[in-house]
Amino acid sequence: MTTGLLLLHAFPLDADMWDEQATGLADTVPVVAVNLPGFGGAPLSQREGWMDTAADVAAMALGGTGIDRVVLCGLSMGGYVAFSFWRRHRDLVAGLVLANTKSGGDDAAGKQRREDLAKRLRAEGNGFLVSSPPPLLSEHASPDLRMRVQTIIGRQPAEAIAVASEAMADRVDSTPDLAGIDVPTLVITSSGDTLIPADVTKPMASQIPGATLAVIERAGHLSNLEAPDEFNRLLREHLARCA
């Protein structure tokens, strides 16, 4: 039986955000980084059921790889998809990594912000999001990294970003699922994450039986990009636990 590492990207990026993990862990485990619906050239999907469709797309990406089970790693929006994957494809999951994400749904204000973002994207295109991205990086991030993130955002279709924003507004509260997660789980947060602060992510580690909590210092929301060596070290250790 072959276990792989399946990587689910953040909003509004694509699978290229995982390049350092794909290359850095290739000598340890087969790695598959998935482009979720509409991102990275993947086909668009409709708003209704987007999270479940994204989970199914991720499962289908394993076809032909020889991978039987995965350690599933989702960051931010990828974490929301990971919960759907757990509900729909539990038999494929050997372990979980929930990074810079949360289990709960949005409150009314959060849902409205996502709806407003979708409307603006459809009216104006994605240029405003490229020039003024959400707080994905900490104040310590280099100009080169900021440019890299903006470049990735810039190549995503406005409609894909809009639909994903609406889908996040629609997503269910996955908190009731936490107590039933019975595979080794790593919860990662970072001290410089202002988008989903550490205090929001940390509670999942106490609600998932036997989960491990790791805090990456100084990194922002995209902790895998700001601290790739530390993120990869944590993944290596977790992969060993899952084995």
What is the pTM for the complete model shown? 0.98
Question: Can you give the residue range of the structural domain that contains 81?
Answer: 3-242
- The total number of structural domains in the chain stands at 1
User: Six-digit token pair at 34?
Assistant: 């998935």
User: What type of residue sits at position 199?
Assistant: D
Query: What is the tens place of the pLDDT at every residue in 135-163?
Result: 999 999 999 999 999 999 999 999 999 99
User: Six-digit token pair at 167?
Assistant: 């889908």
Residue 209 pLDDT: 98
Residue 243 pLDDT: 87
Each residue's pLDDT, cut to its tens digit, for the chain (243 residues) gives: 899 999 999 999 999 999 999 999 999 999 999 999 999 999 999 999 999 999 999 999 999 999 999 999 999 999 999 999 999 999 999 999 999 999 999 999 999 999 999 999 999 999 999 999 999 999 999 999 999 999 999 999 999 999 999 999 999 999 999 999 999 999 999 999 999 999 999 999 999 999 999 999 999 999 999 999 999 999 999 999 998
Residue 115 sits in a domain whose CATH number is 3.40.50.1820
Residue 1 pLDDT: 82
Query: What is the tens place of the pLDDT at every residue in 31-45?
Result: 999 999 999 999 999
Q: Is 199 exposed, middle or buried (0-12, 13-18, 19+ CB in 10 A)?
A: exposed
Residue 95 pLDDT: 98
